[in-house]
Structure 1
Amino acid sequence: MVANQETIECAGQCQALTLSIQGCSVTAYYYILPVAACQLVLGVQWLETLGSIETDYKQLSMTFKVNGISRTFRGLGRAVVGALTNKEINGLQGTYFFLQMVQSNLSDQPKTHPPDMGSLLAEFAHIFAPPSNLPPRRSHDHYIPLQPHAKP
């Protein structure tokens, strides 16, 4: 069970694994979870080993002591979010990343397709057609809880 009380299936565990995070060695037990938004989650089990922690949410930092030595982790900061161009997306091939779709105002959308877009839509109609079968199996499946005796 994770912080929001949701149950996530664990694919495995790394016991007493030591990682270097911002120059600080962190040894902990890690659970392998399907969390796409981050590379690592240091849970409350690790945080409680630190004792007192000073957290500055304005500076996005946390300061704590390890073996009497003061350490500070700094957050990534607030990045400006914007749409990528096709060229930028192509440059990410082979890179793992997390995308989030955000609906924009419909008034910002063009009313018609540009002339060359129509030929592309026609040429690749099979890609834009409604799916006719289930997607291929993945390394992990997402569980969708159903109501008892529910009908389709």
Structure 2
Amino acid sequence: MTSFRTMRVTGQYNKKPLHILIDSGSTHNFLDIQRAKTIGCKIEALEPLMVTMANGNKLQISAVVGNFSWTIQHTTFTSDMMLIPLGCCDVVLGIEWLVTLGDITWNFGKLTMNFKVQGRRHVLRGSPYNGVKTIKHHQLEKVLTEGAHLSMLHLCTKERRLFQSLTTHAEQLPIPLQIDQILKQFAEVFADPSQLPPMRVKHNHQIPLLQGTDPVNKRPYRYAKHQKDIIDTLVQDMLTSGIIQNSSSPYASPMVLVGKKDGCWRLCVGLE
């Protein structure tokens, strides 16, 4: 059920996006058989074996992708992937992958997952389910470049029999080799921050105030409803990730949204 708070993240295989479900109730790792074909995986025959699905039904598996490698937050993982028709996602990572991570701190309420791999701390944040999202027609191309899946239903009979359906899988543009090498070499620099910077005794910044000075009273900027929702989401994401914290200061600054070339938004704080 996509409306339930399951742990879903986005990974990559050869620069192609993978929609991953992390499932502690699954014993093994699984890859959608159609997705394996579209991304060009080497499929090998497997001695048929039966697996039990969540609903109790039995399913025979006869194909596997050996040593399948995928990346999450610039870290590469490798494991064998059994091929089954998934439909709801591209990959299911089960206990077979989770046991390789060691100690895990998992918060299903916030959809965060903390663990260490190769000495690096990782914080995975599950994709929240926000229901149906409406976008403008000029934003469609940008959304598709981010790896969105576009499905369109055309015709059906009175008996609800489907005549035709169309599904388009958008692919991300490849990263130039030289830039990709720099990103991997300095992965810690380009990784998303997961906490506030450490306290530095001689370098902590502060603004001295004149005695008796009243806080500046500045009216916030007006926003359209959809922009207000975007601001709330960005602030909540930063609070959840730990890169900002709640403040009780009487001072505040207005903020503005600035559109980025990839269709996302940058939150900018205005100073008067």
How many angstroms apart in 2 are the aligned matches of 1:60 and 1:2? 27
**Aligned equivalent of 2:59:** 8
Indicate if the aligned counterparts of 2:113 and 2:124 stay in contact, CA closer than 8 A.
Answer: yes
Q: Verify: 1:53 aligned to 2:82, yes or no.
A: no
What's the C-alpha RMSD, in Å, of the aligned pairs? 3.8
**Aligned equivalent of 2:125:** 74
1:22 to 69, 73, 98: 73
Unaligned runs of 5+ in 2: 1-50, 135-143, 160-272
**Aligned equivalent of 1:41:** 92
How many angstroms apart in 1 are the aligned matches of 2:52 and 2:132? 27
Q: Per the alignment, do residues 58 and 129 of structure 1 end up closer, same or farther by CA in structure 2, a change over 3 Å counting?
A: closer
Q: Per the alignment, do residues 82 and 69 of structure 1 end up closer, same or farther by CA in structure 2, a change over 3 Å counting?
A: closer
Indicate if the aligned counterparts of 2:79 and 2:97 stay in contact, CA closer than 8 A.
Answer: yes
How many angstroms apart in 2 are the aligned matches of 1:16 and 1:78? 31
How many angstroms apart in 1 are the aligned matches of 2:66 and 2:97? 13
Indicate if the aligned counterparts of 2:53 and 2:59 stay in contact, CA closer than 8 A.
Answer: no
Q: CA deviation at 1:82?
A: 7.3
1:64 to 105, 111, 115: 115
How many angstroms apart in 2 are the aligned matches of 1:78 and 1:96? 17
TM-score normalised according to structure 2 size: 0.30
Q: Per the alignment, do residues 96 and 33 of structure 1 end up closer, same or farther by CA in structure 2, a change over 3 Å counting?
A: farther
Percent of matched pairs sharing the same residue: 27
Q: CA deviation at 1:3?
A: 6.0
Kindly indicate whether structure 1 or structure 2 has the higher relative contact order, using CA contacts under 8 Å at least 6 residues apart.
Answer: 2
**Aligned equivalent of 1:128:** 157
How many angstroms apart in 1 are the aligned matches of 2:65 and 2:115? 24
Indicate if the aligned counterparts of 1:24 and 1:71 stay in contact, CA closer than 8 A.
Answer: no
Q: CA deviation at 1:79?
A: 1.8
How many angstroms apart in 2 are the aligned matches of 1:2 and 1:47? 20
Deviations 1:59-108 (A, max 9, x none): 2111111122211221111221479xxxxxxxx9xx565x9xxxxxxxxx
SS at match of 1:48: helix
2:82 to 16, 21, 31: 31
